Amino acid sequence: MEIFLLGEYAILVFLDWMLGRSGFGIPGYGLPGGPWTSTFVVLYIMEWICWFIIPIITMLWWRAWSKRHPDLLQEL
């Protein structure tokens, strides 16, 4: 299910599925039996982390932090 929350390319994979075209984009690589440094496992997970975890989670956390510490955001 996590595939639905991946980045732009994964959305295209999802669109493929909706249109009845099965597959994960680049076939085989990174799937069981393939090299782990290749495309599917490393790259799609990386895309998910770079798209959602780091920008959205960290910046919303920073926003909450800045509201708790307005004194630290005053001009020196």
- Residue 49: CB minimum distance to other proteins, A: 8
Nearest to 5 by CA among 59, 60, 38, 50: 50
Shortest separation between residue 2's beta carbon and other proteins, angstroms: 17
Phi/psi for 20 (5° steps) reads 80, 20
Contact set with other proteins (CB under 8 A): 7-9, 12-13, 15-16, 19, 21-27, 29, 35, 37-39, 42-43, 46-47, 50-51, 54-56, 58-60, 62-63, 66-67, 70, 72-76
CB nearer to other proteins: pick between 1 and 37? 37
Token reading at 49: 């982390």
Q: Pick the closest to residue 10 from 46, 35, 38, 36 (CA basis).
A: 46
Minimum CB–partner distance for residue 48 and other proteins (Å): 10
